[in-house]
Amino acid sequence: MSEPQANQHAAGERVVYERCLCREALDHLRDCLGVSPAVREHFTNSRIEFLKAIRAVIDERIEHISGTGQRGTKVVVE
């Protein structure tokens, strides 16, 4: 899922994106509906916000797991 994907930009220049499920879903929706540039910008912003939300969930989970780790007990060895 890490192969780059090339798209034509509005100015005719070629833009390369990393493959992303969010981007592919939004691109497919855009192609089906024929959305305007304003709507396309909303989709781009929503993709960014969605990925930030996933990052926040992962960060929260990391904090939770690393903060509640059980420590072992000391055993006296004779």
Question: How far is it, in rounded angstroms, from Cα 13 to Cα 18?
Answer: 17
Better-predicted residue by pLDDT, 16 or 25: 25
65 pLDDT band, cuts 50/70/90, is confident
60 pLDDT band, cuts 50/70/90, is very high
pTM for the full model?
Answer: 0.47
Q: Where are the domains of the chain?
A: 4-66
Better-predicted residue by pLDDT, 19 or 7: 19
- Taken in order 33, 39, 45, 50, the sign of the CA dihedral is negative
Question: How far is it, in rounded angstroms, from Cα 68 to Cα 35?
Answer: 47
Any idea how long the chain is? 78
